[in-house]
């Protein structure tokens, strides 16, 4: 099974990422660190990690969902 870090280049260098404010970049970076440690299917890992990171940084989950949508073109 591939790890998330194998699917993206680090550091993240995309238009969607570069357009984020600095605090949101921290949230996204933390997401990628935490999602690696989660167990289960990729969908469960992503959902769980978004909730954990949003709670940790005291932000809305919309930050991550909007970022993912911009990255995937949806």
Q: What is the pLDDT of residues 2-33, one digit of tens each?
A: 455 555 445 577 899 999 999 999 999 999 88
What span, in angstroms and rounded, lies between the C-alpha atoms of 4 and 18?
A: 19
Q: How confident is the model at residue 42 (pLDDT cuts 50, 70, 90)?
A: confident
Give the CA dihedral 62, 66, 74, 50, nearest 10 degrees: -60
- Could you tell me the residue ranges of all domains in the chain? 4-72
């Amino acid at each position: 099974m591939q790890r998330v870090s194998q699917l993206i280049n680090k550091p993240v260098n995309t238009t969607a990422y570069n357009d984020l404010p600095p605090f949101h970049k921290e949230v996204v970076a933390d997401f990628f660190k935490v999602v690696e440690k989660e167990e289960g299917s990729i969908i469960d890992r992503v959902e769980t990690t978004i909730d954990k990171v949003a709670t940790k940084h005291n932000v809305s989950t919309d930050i991550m969902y909007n970022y993912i949508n911009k990255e995937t073109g949806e």
